Structure 1
């Protein structure tokens, strides 16, 4: 159960019938920022473990006439993730082995030094946090197709329906949509719904590398192919053999390298850098872009034959402002996800917060909404997120002709173009953030995409 107090601090429960020992534990641990709670009886310790969240339990082996080991099953039943350290004056190896067999995680023999105690607590607290993080990630992975792709929007539902139909065909898929609309999530869902679900899903981020590095990343290299190539290396294509290769932002793929990609798509053959031997890989290609590939191909910025090979089946993901019925349900889901992940108290949205979310234009789409909610959950000390926690300005991204229209009026009245909206919002975020990386994170796009948009809009 996540804590509603001290969410980022280690919480220790100590159970011992000796008040002096408990005071000593407190004096050793509290200066390290640990939240310390003491119990002088097993019954009190069991009650606290069952009703309050702790990371580590320091349990004495002998508590009055009771054995601390007798409480272990009860602790594990009521607080299954709690890490238990047994403290005892008994140096008997068999006693230590019995404690470990019961599920106790560590064993300290008295007298032990303050440093031994601190190390033992730190080790078990780290194990507890890692276990919690793994559980959260597993839940996120398991819920991605149903949670992040649930929608009340007709346009989004149609895209999901097409994706499900095409998933089992093996055809190449081109996912179109603005930055942050969930193209990566859709690509992973297509892979999960396909017959290749048990094989690898491999991602290539096209804007992140220049042509030479991208060729090496994609196809691998032979030993000695270039300075520093001390071993032969497989590329992403080989890693994806039998599975799916997701090429994110394919519109940024270098024109000079496109013939090699085209050949691989056509023939399923490729060569590693510096290697004349042709290799084969059975890969299902899923590509995504926020750019107009058709226009680019007509203008010579992207090969037409490659475009047609990619565009066997295309899916268009609507922007978040075009699926407004999904904004609040998505936000509620993100609140639950991040509250669980970070152990924060926030569990719901106030009416004012929901109105603020609906009034905002979301140029960064679902990714920006996710980032805004994640930040709000981390910084909120209350159980309910309010509008002030959102850190969004509904008017910043929607200037009307006179420069003073609200987000809602512009969205409804259509007084500005999408490019004007995006330019104004990017300019506002750049002015607010200290670095380009911070601005990109706020906008829900990668730094290379932000760089290109700044250049396109003439923003310094």
Structure 2
């Protein structure tokens, strides 16, 4: 496990919905003392509005909200953010209501009166669940890539300087623009920067801009509501909401449609966006890393990329050199690939002949790795 595996979800975004001011105050105090960010409201309307404006890791929902039933609020909150953990709180505890709450998607159930220690234990457990969910998602993504172990070790002085710069930039929230030819390892750098950052315990979402049709890229990033367009049969939160607190990696951003560029620019400036088909502004706390194999300055000059967006993205620029400019790394990478494919195919091959090494060293590597 990586050195970041001990980073917990120490900070949760929590929504409290209770019609009793006393309960809202008590819960807010307990949660804030644990370092969590708390929004407390008294009714379902305000709860839904807050849930649409920002993402929450955890929601405490009172079952009796005046004349309204808190049970009805559970699926509404989950439809906006399926990862939100809902904890039902009530003074009228019963096995029947607990079972019904779980059936509707609640994660836990707590009866009034409760103690601060109960709340602390509960939030720590929820934090651990969110951490495990993120780790599982990352592991699934690693397995789907079916590539060799990703390493940024290099014998090239130039590459070492770029790795060191990336390490120094990782703890900040500054946007990073990765530039270089296809196959030079820009996505490896993006994952490493996320791994080295304070956001490592939160999700990282990857959007390959050329892989998504231009008319769907806006929905993929910002989400949509049911009925926003033909085929939108259900609400979709979008990648930005899905990586709340984490990192959004925009691969090959030079191919992004101009209409989406404008909306991305506004999000970078204001940290606000709207889902397609919805007028409610939402907030998100994410770090953006972008990558391109294109010369964005040339695209700006030709009117194919927004100049203002380019300057917003070009805060910290890392140019990853092609493999032909760092020949000392060829055998290092070759041995990595050999070890990987031996494991994958149950073979035992321990190296290359001198002739094979010479062929590898003399090859131009037009596609890099």
CA contact (8 A) 1:181 1:317 kept: yes
Residues of 1 paired with 2:301 and 2:143: CA distance?
A: 43
Alpha-carbon displacement from aligned partner over 1:316-344 (angstroms, at most 9, x marks no partner): 10000000000011101110112112212
TM-score when normalising by structure 1: 0.48
Specify the alignment match of 1:198 in structure 2. 201
How many residue pairs match? The answer is 229
Residues of 1 paired with 2:165 and 2:188: CA distance?
A: 15
SS in 2 for 1:180: coil
CA contact (8 A) 1:219 1:237 kept: yes
1:287, distance to aligned residue in structure 2 (A):
0.2
Residues of 2 paired with 1:269 and 1:341: CA distance?
A: 44
1:211, distance to aligned residue in structure 2 (A):
2.0
Would you say 1:188 and 2:224 are equivalent positions?
Answer: no
Residues of 1 paired with 2:358 and 2:192: CA distance?
A: 31
Residues of 2 paired with 1:343 and 1:221: CA distance?
A: 46
1:299-310 pair list within 5 angstroms: 299-310=302-313
Specify the alignment match of 1:325 in structure 2. 328
Which protein has greater RCO, CA pairs closer than 8 Å, 6+ apart? Answer: 2
SS in 2 for 1:348: coil
1:142, distance to aligned residue in structure 2 (A):
11
SS in 2 for 1:174: strand
Residues of 1 paired with 2:219 and 2:295: CA distance?
A: 27
1:242, distance to aligned residue in structure 2 (A):
0.4
1:295, distance to aligned residue in structure 2 (A):
1.6
TM-score when normalising by structure 2: 0.60
Pick from 267, 270, 273 the counterpart of residue 270 of structure 2: 267
Would you say 1:312 and 2:334 are equivalent positions?
Answer: no
CA contact (8 A) 1:241 1:282 kept: yes
Specify the alignment match of 2:345 in structure 1. 342
Alpha-carbon displacement from aligned partner over 1:246-276 (angstroms, at most 9, x marks no partner): 0000010111221101001111111111111
Over the aligned positions, Cα root-mean-square deviation in angstroms equals 2.1
Distance 1:142 1:354, change over 3 A: closer
CA contact (8 A) 2:149 2:340 kept: no
Residues of 2 paired with 1:342 and 1:216: CA distance?
A: 40
1:143-154 pair list within 5 angstroms: 144=150, 148-154=151-157
CA contact (8 A) 1:210 1:254 kept: no
Structure 1: which 5+ runs fail to align?
1-132, 367-460
CA contact (8 A) 1:218 1:236 kept: yes
Residues of 1 paired with 2:198 and 2:345: CA distance?
A: 35
Specify the alignment match of 1:248 in structure 2. 251
Pick from 175, 181, 189 the counterpart of residue 178 of structure 1: 181
CA contact (8 A) 1:225 1:274 kept: yes
Residues of 2 paired with 1:320 and 1:359: CA distance?
A: 12
1:226, distance to aligned residue in structure 2 (A):
1.5
Residues of 2 paired with 1:218 and 1:304: CA distance?
A: 21
1:154, distance to aligned residue in structure 2 (A):
1.2
Specify the alignment match of 2:31 in structure 1. none
Would you say 1:225 and 2:231 are equivalent positions?
Answer: no
